[in-house]
Homo-oligomer: A and B are copies of this chain.
Amino acid sequence: MKAGEDKLVKRVASVLARKGGLRLALGVGDDAALFAPRPGYETVLTCDWFLEGSHFLPGKDPADSVGWKCLARAVSDIAAMGGQPRCFLLSLALPGKVALEERGRGSRWLDEFLGGLRRAAQRFACVLAGGDTTQRGEILINVTVVGEVLAGRAIRRSGAKSGDRVFVSGVLGEAELGLQKLRRGARNSPKNDRARRKHLYPEPRLALGQWLANRKLASSMIDLSDGLSSDLPRLCAASGVGARLDAAEIPSPKQPRTGSKPLDVLGLALNGGDDYELLFTVRSNKASRIPRSFQGIVLTEIGEITRERRVVIVKQDGTAKPLLPLGWDPFCK
């Protein structure tokens, strides 16, 4: 007689638990997991909600994207510290029919979810260490990621100084554009559409974050989860500084081909969430050491840090206006 919860835990573990995984002394199936920290490293800890209706829609977002993204967005916080992920805890609340349906009969939500999560875990070298399961009317997910960073090398939000250059990785606003396409049900957008893929399967910038940390190139860093206009003020507040951005330099999505209505690409780049790119600052005397691209990801200088504690954006006509935090805020929907 196998109880419902034990059955679900066994199923999750059979897909995700790696035997002899990394430096994990004890994984799924005990009261808690055991992790052997490496000497000379600090432990990096983060957790993230991923909730049906708030962060994903089961009818619109494929289950394997839900699995991939719930881990990717938490891993992105590790990337933003310059760390490397090691293991994760998965808290899963599921409706009974999703949790206990038999496996392998056609295309089921839980199979696909676990498949996407396994692909992400392999990609990010982040092994399942434990978690908690319960029953609930809606799908609720919370992921905790444990990572490591060389002691003293973590890049914080608080290190920016006046005169530092502001950089971002990648193109901003693409994930929001992909979300809009999916919500419109744009059936003509191909599966490999860049914006669609970025919304469904974001790639945290782990290698870039570690490279910046190991070479001591960045004075501060944050990942862009809510949007540049919301996240840059957080970095500035933590550092006690302001910033001046150059609107013309902000890497934005391409305008669609002729025939479509032109997009507000700057608005997408400033306020679109879910990009999981890195925003970082570099002392001006080190700025030339930042390449134009890193492992195929474009790196762009978009402005500078100011002593005056305001965040402003300078338009192409030279006028400056305050950058309002119009990115994602769950309490201002």
Segment of A48-56, A264-272, A313-321 in the binding face? A48-56
Once the chains bind, are B332 and A3 in contact (CB under 8 Å)?
Answer: yes
> A81: which B residues are within 8 A, CB to CB?
30-32, 34
Q: Which residues in window 219-251 of A have CB below 8 A to B?
A: 221-223, 230, 234, 238
Kindly state the separation between the CA atoms of A12 and B157 in the bound complex, as whole angstroms: 19
> A130: which B residues are within 8 A, CB to CB?
45-47
Q: Name the residue in A34, A78, A146 with the highest tally of chain B Cβ atoms < 10 Å from its Cβ.
A: A34
Once the chains bind, are B146 and A45 in contact (CB under 8 Å)?
Answer: yes
Q: Which residue in chain B gives the minimum CB-CB distance to A221?
A: B31
Q: Which single member of B30, B42, B93, B329 contacts A25 (CB below 8 Å)? A: B42
Given contacts A32-B77, A45-B130, A151-B36, A4 and B332 within 8 Å (CB-CB): yes
Once the chains bind, are B333 and A30 in contact (CB under 8 Å)?
Answer: no
Segment of A57-65, A133-141, A253-261 in the binding face? A133-141
Given contacts A4-B330, A46-B130, A142-B142, A31 and B77 within 8 Å (CB-CB): yes
Classify chain A's interface size: 35 or more
> A48: which B residues are within 8 A, CB to CB?
91, 132
Q: Which residue in chain B gives the minimum CB-CB distance to A230?
A: B3
Flag A56-96 by CB within 8 Å of B: 1 or 0 each. Answer: 00000000000000000000011011010001010101001
A-B contacts, 12 listed (Cβ < 8 Å): A32-B78, A32-B147, A35-B43, A36-B43, A45-B129, A47-B89, A49-B134, A99-B331, A100-B331, A135-B330, A135-B331, A144-B144
- Extra contacts, 8 of them, besides A46-B130, A49-B91 (Cβ < 8 A), are A29-B157, A30-B81, A30-B158, A31-B221, A33-B44, A43-B43, A133-B330, A135-B331
